[in-house]
Chains A and B, each alone.
Chain A
């Protein structure tokens, strides 16, 4: 266990009857970190969050918060506070009463508590909303009240259970930025549960990707995106193309690989971060690592040819599905749209530039 770990999880197991919800979770979360638990529904991410909060007992293992064992410590005695998916705003209380709820047992005089409430409201941008009835608030406002209510107790860890999933896209993007700002401001460890990979990439210092009760990969967003340690993680985070490959040899940290449609190339051993669960070896690459070549352009590294099967126009970007010569399935590549560069048509022949340094090997 590292010295600056705020949360220390060691072989955490959780059964619901016969159902094995958490299968040996090991991880340390640093103080002041914005940490995300990312995974599809049913992967155990919410269960893990509720385990840290103290709402769920674990079957075996160790949960430590700030160096203290949490076994037998109920949720109301833990140095954590939670922002619930439904926000759980008390509908019969005012905004002020909601935010100040956790201060009920605080021995400070009322005037001081009132000031704390006012400060908390200002921090989340709800200055002047104190006297409003909570049930009359909009979704985004409820979200802010829930944040203020949890942060007013100055917890060591703030737990956020899919806090943005009920908001519309614009609102969600605004709140993402605001949550990052808030986390920097208060310096509290944030643990976010989300199924939205984009949200996790945008907000987190580190992300634990979970499948079926296990952490599949724990890394910072860039590593997760560039060097996923399995096809499954690669597939879950953004889009990744896969091509069948054969490992021809390995020497001095360089792997010789025969890739369908791309031919023989050398890949650094660093680009082969994990296994592929006994599947056939393959290489993966992100859409933006392929570049369409226009007339007169030549590739700086390697070049391949193919046929454009589909064009998806996004305004700022265009996605092309290109069937490379000698490959069964089309690969997706993305091009930023800039003035003077035409969007190519479906059915056109295409030349594509690629580089072995952008490939990830799963073997």
Chain B
């Protein structure tokens, strides 16, 4: 039995190495004093990070991405609050079908969605740009937001609302005083996850972004120039750091939400 256990452990280690080793290479090369991405390392430098500051296009791309991700997070989360509340609290005709359709983009090949949207936008004569990316990203982020928020609304005891109502509050003040504070961790978690997904989304941004590149699109365009690659590594290192911080914050709020409502942790995205 012991050897079998060791075999499984080896498998697990290999699996994790395959998953994360490439990501660990990013920071290593971003501090490497050489333009060629290969071992052996040449020496330690921070000049690639310094170079980042001089690239105007890069700055524009980062600003574009922040605008897109911020707007997407707010839009998707707002829409998801309505959907999650409706699906967890009310019974109505066709609820299952409606929820399935809303959640479908989660598994739909993104390239198909991107192509379809592009064709329609061109037919309608809508100018491509940040607005169209925001709409596309909202489409793909909303299912994630609903999944997170449904869990938050689900763990809410219905009698909490009734108790507040019974104690003299109206429907709106009950929502504000009881429901909102209790699902707030879920809302924050949803905002952060949507933000993160939108931030590194490439296909839609490339298809329907027109001449306004987001950060992933910009990075891809720079890969054609070998001398730019170390700078890209530095950018990517920053991105990884930001992503990890955001996800940790999101998970922190999700767990705090579960603890607050006294629910049982059934596991989230992380």
Chain A interface residues (CB < 8 Å from chain B): 53, 55, 74-76, 80-82, 84-86, 88, 90-92, 101-102, 104-105, 135, 149-150, 153
| B166 close to A135 (CB less than 8 A) | no
Beta-carbon nearest neighbor of B163 in chain A: A88
Beta-carbon nearest neighbor of A135 in chain B: B262
**Quick check: which of B19-27, B40-48, B154-162, B239-247 contacts chain A, the rest being far away?**
B154-162
Q: How many angstroms between the C-alpha atoms of A126 and B168 in the bound complex?
A: 24
- Report A-chain residues with C-beta under 8 Å of the C-beta of B178: 90
| A81 close to B166 (CB less than 8 A) | yes
| B170 close to A76 (CB less than 8 A) | yes
A sample of 22 cross-chain residue pairs with beta-carbon separation below 8 angstroms, ordered by A number, consists of A55-B162, A74-B165, A75-B162, A76-B165, A76-B166, A76-B169, A81-B167, A82-B162, A82-B166, A84-B159, A84-B162, A85-B159, A86-B159, A88-B160, A88-B163, A90-B160, A90-B163, A91-B260, A91-B261, A91-B262, A92-B181, A105-B168
- Report A-chain residues with C-beta under 8 Å of the C-beta of B159: 84-86, 88
B176 nearest CB across to chain A (Å) = 12
A152 nearest CB across to chain B (Å) = 9
In the A-B complex, list the 3 residue pairs whose CB atoms are closest, starting with the nearest: A102-B167, A88-B163, A88-B159
Name, among A55, A76, A102, the residue most crowded by chain B CB atoms within 10 Å (CB to CB): A76
User: What is the total number of residues of chain B having a CB less than 8 Å from a CB of chain A?
Assistant: 19
Q: How many angstroms between the C-alpha atoms of A62 and B114 in the bound complex?
A: 59
Name, among A92, A135, A149, the residue most crowded by chain B CB atoms within 10 Å (CB to CB): A92
B85 nearest CB across to chain A (Å) = 18
Q: How many angstroms between the C-alpha atoms of A88 and B179 in the bound complex?
A: 12
Beta-carbon nearest neighbor of B263 in chain A: A91
- Report B-chain residues with C-beta under 8 Å of the C-beta of A80: 166
Q: How many angstroms between the C-alpha atoms of A9 and B164 in the bound complex?
A: 26
- Report A-chain residues with C-beta under 8 Å of the C-beta of B181: 92
B11 nearest CB across to chain A (Å) = 41
Q: How many angstroms between the C-alpha atoms of A351 and B3 in the bound complex?
A: 73
| A88 close to B157 (CB less than 8 A) | yes
| B162 close to A101 (CB less than 8 A) | no
B73 within 8 A of A: no
| A135 close to B168 (CB less than 8 A) | no
A90 nearest CB across to chain B (Å) = 6
- Report B-chain residues with C-beta under 8 Å of the C-beta of A86: 157, 159
B145 within 8 A of A: no
- Report A-chain residues with C-beta under 8 Å of the C-beta of B170: 76
- Report B-chain residues with C-beta under 8 Å of the C-beta of A75: 162, 165-166
B182 within 8 A of A: yes
